[in-house]
């Protein structure tokens, strides 16, 4: 086999975890593990939602050989030189998994490589890209001129269930488990952490036997997470009458957040956390890629978008994210953007988008912990309601296999 380079272009934490990870696994399954034959490189482009730990996450994937961070992207785009002066083989493929599709065109031409684009909602540059793997038929062009370039592969976000290895939570018991996913960025954590912990306290009062867990995002360290549970460091906690929680981390012990009311929430750093989430009866979560992962695992969820502090929600993509984070005037832009969004909003959670109807609750507004806790308790007291949601999630999550189909396209382009 002629040695081949596969260059993956990606950007934010969601794309890195839900797109890149299953695709590189599929590529290795299909093309083999020999680095002499196939070398996989990942180059990241800037993203307003980036945490700064994307390189570390990608380096944890054993299938990947080398990674370049977003801070070096534009010199590479403009001059074709990486920060470490990587060498490139004569034969290769550029695979787009996040960012701007035009980057694939420029870099593919510069390296003399074929190009493959995964298109979730929109496919562009039909005449300049060699192959497209699209999420659904609606993304394909209406004209038949480029139809031979397009293949419907499905939703990469539906791969979570396939990647679940069904490991068990350490010291697992027969108790019910509620998962808490407050987000990974400050804009969401400021409201998400105190709100979800306050909800957990109310539920714990009624059902002390329930275990609460937080699968900590790989881009988030425990100290930062704990800071959002401290009202002295996060004044937003006052909106939810949350009295605070402290981090307890001892050697050979699972770290926990212990609230002022005595609730202990276990913190898990393993990534991905599919095996943990699959055991949850229900999860409290923010909007984002995590709703797709939960949906793929058929885990019922309540999706929370609190609006107590509109200017705190600045985690937008593209131009909106840039405007919302401008020094000085960003807060005003953020309030305006979020006001407009709340008036125009459609479905937010991925399972609801897939189904085109609300099959998991989306709670938007000035949420109060006790009200949300009552909804959680109602689900727990009526397990048939949870089973109904679970079955609907199974129906809409789609078939796994998008990553394998995309890898097959890459193989065909190489051949």
Instruction: Please list the pLDDT of the chain residue by residue as tens digits (415 residues).
Output: 799 999 999 998 878 888 999 999 999 999 999 999 999 999 999 987 777 888 988 999 999 999 999 999 999 999 889 999 999 999 999 999 999 999 999 999 999 999 999 998 889 999 999 999 998 888 888 878 888 999 999 888 877 655 554 444 444 445 799 999 998 888 789 999 999 999 999 999 999 999 999 999 887 889 999 999 999 999 999 999 999 999 998 888 899 999 999 999 999 988 778 888 999 999 999 988 788 889 888 999 999 988 865 544 445 444 445 555 556 555 565 556 555 555 555 688 888 988 889 999 999 888 999 999 999 999 999 999 999 999 999 888 766 789 999 999 999 999 8
- What pLDDT is attached to residue 105? 95
Same domain, 404 and 381: no
| Contact by Cβ (8 Å): 122, 129 | no
Phi, psi angles (nearest 5°) of residue 86: -60, 145
Residue 20 lies in a domain: yes
Same domain, 247 and 284: yes
Same domain, 181 and 316: yes
Residue 167 lies in a domain: no
Same domain, 241 and 343: yes
Q: For the chain, how far is it from start to end, CA to CA, in angstroms?
A: 10
- Dist. CA 410–CA 376, nearest whole Å: 44
Residue 309 lies in a domain: yes
Residue 160 lies in a domain: no
* Furthest C-alpha separation in the chain: 65
Residue 364 lies in a domain: yes
Measured CA angle at 253 (ends 250, 259), to 5 deg: 70
Residue 259 lies in a domain: yes
Same domain, 103 and 195: no
Same domain, 17 and 149: yes
Residue 172 lies in a domain: no
- What pLDDT is attached to residue 274? 83
Q: Please tell me the total count of domains within the chain.
A: 2
Burial tier of 260 (Cβ tally within 10 Å: 0-12, 13-18, 19+): middle
Same domain, 66 and 9: yes
CA distances from 104 to 44, 109, 262 (A): 12, 8, 52
- Dist. CA 267–CA 255, nearest whole Å: 6
At residue 240, the 3 state secondary structure works out as helix
15 sits in which H/E element: helix 13-15
| Contact by Cβ (8 Å): 119, 139 | yes
Same domain, 132 and 242: no
The DSSP bridge partners found for residue 265 are 212, 257
| Contact by Cβ (8 Å): 380, 207 | yes
- What pLDDT is attached to residue 317? 47
The structure's pTM equals 0.72
Q: What share of the chain is helix, strand, coil (3-state, %, to 5)?
A: 40, 20, 40
Same domain, 297 and 249: yes
Same domain, 185 and 112: no
- Dist. CA 236–CA 286, nearest whole Å: 16
- DSSP of 60-93: T-TT--EEE-GGGHHHHHHH---TT-----SEEE
Helix axes 21-31, 402-414, angle to 10 degrees: 50
Task: State which residues form the domain around 316.
Answer: 177-396
**CATH code assigned at 97:** 3.40.50.2000
Residue 169 lies in a domain: no
- What pLDDT is attached to residue 123? 92
Burial tier of 34 (Cβ tally within 10 Å: 0-12, 13-18, 19+): exposed
- Dist. CA 364–CA 13, nearest whole Å: 24
- Dist. CA 52–CA 110, nearest whole Å: 27
Return contacts of 248-254, CB within 8 angstroms, 24+ apart. Answer: 249/222, 254/170, 254/171
Report, in angstroms and rounded to the nearest whole number, the Rg of the chain calculated over CA atoms.
22
Same domain, 353 and 368: yes
Bridge-based pairing of strands 301-306 and 245-248 is unpaired
Cβ neighbours for 143, distance < 8 A, ≥ 6 positions apart: none
- Outline where DSSP puts E strands in 249-350: 256-259, 264-268, 282-285, 301-306
Nearest Cα neighbor of 127 from 103, 110, 140, 145 is 145
Burial tier of 53 (Cβ tally within 10 Å: 0-12, 13-18, 19+): middle
Same domain, 123 and 252: no
Token pair for 264: 């202990």
Token pair for 188: 């969401």
- What pLDDT is attached to residue 95? 98
Question: Under the phi-then-psi rule, with left for phi > 0, alpha for psi from -120 to 50, and beta for the rest, what region is 365?
Answer: left
- What pLDDT is attached to residue 302? 97
């Amino acid at each position: 086999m002629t040695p081949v380079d596969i260059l993956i272009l990606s950007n934010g934490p969601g794309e890195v975890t839900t797109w890149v990870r299953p695709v590189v696994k599929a590529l290795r399954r299909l093309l083999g593990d020999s680095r002499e034959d196939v070398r996989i490189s990942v180059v990241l482009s800037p993203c307003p939602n980036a945490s700064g730990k994307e390189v570390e996450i990608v380096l944890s994937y054993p299938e990947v050989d080398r990674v370049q961070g977003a801070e070096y992207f534009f010199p590479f785009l403009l001059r074709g030189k990486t920060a470490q002066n990587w060498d490139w083989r004569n034969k290769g493929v550029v695979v787009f998994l996040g960012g701007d599709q035009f980057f694939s065109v420029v870099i593919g031409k510069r390296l003399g490589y074929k190009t493959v684009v995964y298109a979730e909602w929109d496919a562009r540059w039909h005449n300049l890209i060699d192959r497209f793997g699209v999420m659904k038929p609606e993304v394909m062009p209406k004209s038949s001129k480029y139809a031979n370039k397009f293949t419907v592969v499905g939703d990469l976000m539906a791969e979570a269930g396939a990647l679940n290895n069904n490991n068990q939570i350490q010291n697992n018991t027969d108790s019910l488990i509620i998962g808490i996913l407050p987000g990974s960025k400050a804009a969401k954590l400021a409201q998400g952490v105190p709100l979800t912990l306050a909800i957990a306290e109310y539920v714990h009062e009624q059902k002390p036997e329930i275990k609460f867990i937080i699968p900590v995002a790989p881009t988030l360290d425990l100290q930062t997470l704990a800071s959002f549970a401290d009202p002295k460091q996060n004044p937003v906690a006052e909106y939810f009458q949350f009295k605070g929680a402290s981090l307890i981390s001892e050697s050979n012990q699972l770290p926990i957040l212990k609230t002022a009311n005595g609730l202990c929430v276990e913190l898990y750093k393993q990534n991905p956390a599919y095996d943990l989430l699959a055991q949850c009866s229900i999860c409290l979560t923010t909007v984002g890629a995590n709703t797709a992962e939960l949906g793929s695992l058929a885990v019922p969820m309540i999706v929370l978008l609190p609006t107590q502090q509109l200017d705190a929600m600045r985690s937008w993509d593209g131009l909106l994210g840039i405007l919302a984070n401008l020094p000085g005037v960003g807060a005003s832009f953020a309030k305006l953007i979020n006001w407009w969004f709340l008036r125009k909003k459609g479905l937010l959670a991925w399972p609801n988008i897939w189904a085109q109807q609300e099959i998991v609750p989306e709670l938007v507004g000035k949420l109060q912990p006790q009200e949300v806790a009552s909804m959680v308790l109602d689900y727990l007291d009526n397990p048939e309601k949870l089973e109904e949601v679970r079955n609907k999630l199974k129906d809409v999550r789609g078939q796994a296999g998008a990553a394998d189909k995309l890898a097959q396209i890459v193989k065909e382009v190489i051949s």
